[in-house]
Structure 1
Amino acid sequence: MNTLIKRLALFSVLFLAFSALCAESKEVARPAARPTIVLVHGAFADSSSWNDVAGNLVARGFPVVAAANPLRSVKYDAAYLDALLETITGPVVLVGHSYGGMVISNVDSGRHEIKALVYVAAFAPETGETAAGLSARFPGSTLAAALGPPVALPDGSNDLYIQQARFHQQFAADVPAGPAAAAAIAQRPVTDKALNEASGPPAWGSIPSWSVFGSLDRNIPPESLRFMARRARSHRVVEIDGASHLVMVSHPDEVARLIVEAAESR
Structure 2
Amino acid sequence: MYPLKNRVIAALAALVTVAGLALFGASNTAAAHGGGRKPTIVLVHGAFADGSSWAPVIEQLHRRGYTAVAVANPLRGVRSDADALEARLAGIDGPVVLVGHSYGGAVITNVAARSPKVTALVYVAAFAPAEGEAAAQLAAKYPGSTLGETLAPVPLPDGSNDLYIKPSLFRQQFAADVPAHRAALMASTQRPIRDVALNEVSGKPAWANIPSWFLLAGADKNIPLRAQRFMADRAGSRATVTVEGASHAVAVSRPGPVVTLILRAAG
Which residue identity lines up with residue 246 of structure 2 in the other structure? A
Which residue identity lines up with residue 117 of structure 1 in the other structure? L
The 1-side partners of 2:241 and 2:190 are apart by 26
Aligned residue among 195, 200, 207 for 1:197 = 200
Per the TM alignment, residue 176 of structure 1 is displaced from its structure 2 partner at its CA by: 0.9
Contact 2:97 2:122 in 1 (8 A): yes
How many pairs align?
A: 263
CA separation of 1:196 and 1:60: change in aligned 2, threshold 3 A: same
Contact 1:135 1:224 in 2 (8 A): yes
Residue 170 of structure 1 aligns to a residue whose secondary structure is helix
The 1-side partners of 2:218 and 2:57 are apart by 20
Per the TM alignment, residue 111 of structure 1 is displaced from its structure 2 partner at its CA by: 3.1
CA separation of 1:68 and 1:29: change in aligned 2, threshold 3 A: closer
Over 3 Å off, 4+ runs: 5-8, 18-31
1:77 is aligned to 2:77: no
Alignment correspondent of 1:127: 131
Alignment correspondent of 1:117: 121
Which residues in structure 2 correspond to 1:1-266 (within 5 Å)?
3-4=3-4, 5-21=6-22, 32-107=36-111, 109-148=113-152, 150-264=153-267
Per the TM alignment, residue 92 of structure 1 is displaced from its structure 2 partner at its CA by: 0.4
Residue 151 of structure 1 aligns to a residue whose secondary structure is strand
Using structure 1 for the length normalisation, give the TM-score.
0.93
1:77-107 deviation line (CA, Å, top 9, x unaligned): 0000010001101110100000000000000
Per the TM alignment, residue 214 of structure 1 is displaced from its structure 2 partner at its CA by: 1.4
Using structure 2 for the length normalisation, give the TM-score.
0.93
Residue 216 of structure 1 aligns to a residue whose secondary structure is coil
CA separation of 1:250 and 1:7: change in aligned 2, threshold 3 A: closer
1:197-217 deviation line (CA, Å, top 9, x unaligned): 000001101100001021110
Higher mean C-alpha displacement, 153-162 vs 220-229: 153-162
The 2-side partners of 1:239 and 1:198 are apart by 27
Per the TM alignment, residue 10 of structure 1 is displaced from its structure 2 partner at its CA by: 3.2
The 1-side partners of 2:168 and 2:133 are apart by 31
1:220-249 deviation line (CA, Å, top 9, x unaligned): 000000000000111110101100000000
The 1-side partners of 2:166 and 2:9 are apart by 85
Residue 113 of structure 2 aligns to a residue whose secondary structure is coil
CA separation of 1:163 and 1:234: change in aligned 2, threshold 3 A: same
| Cα root mean square deviation, aligned | 1.9
Per the TM alignment, residue 151 of structure 1 is displaced from its structure 2 partner at its CA by: 0.8
Residue 176 of structure 2 aligns to a residue whose secondary structure is coil
Contact 1:86 1:112 in 2 (8 A): no
Residue 145 of structure 2 aligns to a residue whose secondary structure is coil
Contact 2:113 2:205 in 1 (8 A): no
Higher mean C-alpha displacement, 25-34 vs 135-144: 25-34
Residue 214 of structure 2 aligns to a residue whose secondary structure is strand
Contact 1:130 1:197 in 2 (8 A): yes
The 1-side partners of 2:23 and 2:100 are apart by 43
Residue 188 of structure 2 aligns to a residue whose secondary structure is helix
Which residue identity lines up with residue 248 of structure 2 in the other structure? H
The 1-side partners of 2:257 and 2:136 are apart by 27
The 1-side partners of 2:9 and 2:102 are apart by 69
CA separation of 1:113 and 1:223: change in aligned 2, threshold 3 A: same
